[in-house]
Every structure is written in C-alpha cells, then in structure tokens.
Amino acid sequence: QAHLEESGGGSVQAGGSLRLSCSVSIPTYSGYYTAWFRQAPGKGRDVVAIIDSDGNSHYADSVKGRFTFSKDSAKKILYLQMNGLTPEDTAMYYCAADLNLHWRNDVVLPDLTADDFGFWGQGTQVTVSS
C-alpha cells in the first residue's frame, strides 16, 4: 500500500516563499506519476503541477514561473518550491501519486485531474497574508 506524507506548510506574507516536501512510499518497480494539488475552502481540488514517469512536467497557469516541482528519486521525496506567494495561493496542498497512468498511452498532462490519482497525502496548509 502506498503512503504519502506532506510537510513544510505554514503561514507567510505575500511575496514570501515556502518549500513543501512529500515523502513517497510506493511498492512498485515501474514508473509512476506524481503531482501537487491544492484545495481552497469551498472549492475543488485543482492541479498545481504534475511530473510523469518520464520526468515531463506540467504546471497550472496560475503558478508558472513561481512554483517549481522537483523530485529526489533516490530518496523518494517530492518538493514544491513556491516563490512570490500571494493570498490567492492560500489552500490545503496535497501530494498525489498514481501507478496506472504510467501504463496508459493516452495521457495528456494538462487534462489530468484529481480523479486520475489514486494515492494521496493528508495535506499541508499554506496560508498567505497580504
């Protein structure tokens, strides 16, 4: 069974930075997709960034140029470096992973949603004040 656990959330003023981490434990010898999502109060869970099993990445337009998604494959840790934070970035942030996407040949990264990911962390809160 997979286990994901986020850390690094907190409160920061607008313009500040935070780095989220997510430790990933997945019992597989094949590749898998990983992603960061966020969910603001009263809203759906939206993609922040995705890395596929080949290392290709996709970012939501709202975070391009400000957020960087990276992974330490040896340590199985995902990172989300967030710079230039604004109050609109306030949300619960979740890391996610999925094994099945690796075996599909019809995946279009910008089309992926939360429903496509089977494994989730518990979330970490990011609050940005103006």
What value does the mean pLDDT take over residues 111-118? 96
Taking CA atoms, 108 is separated from 4, 32, 48, 84, 101, in Å, by 24, 15, 15, 28, 10
Chain segment 6-51, per-residue pLDDT in tens = 999 999 999 999 999 999 998 876 789 999 999 999 999 999 999 9
Per the prediction, the chain carries an average pLDDT of 95
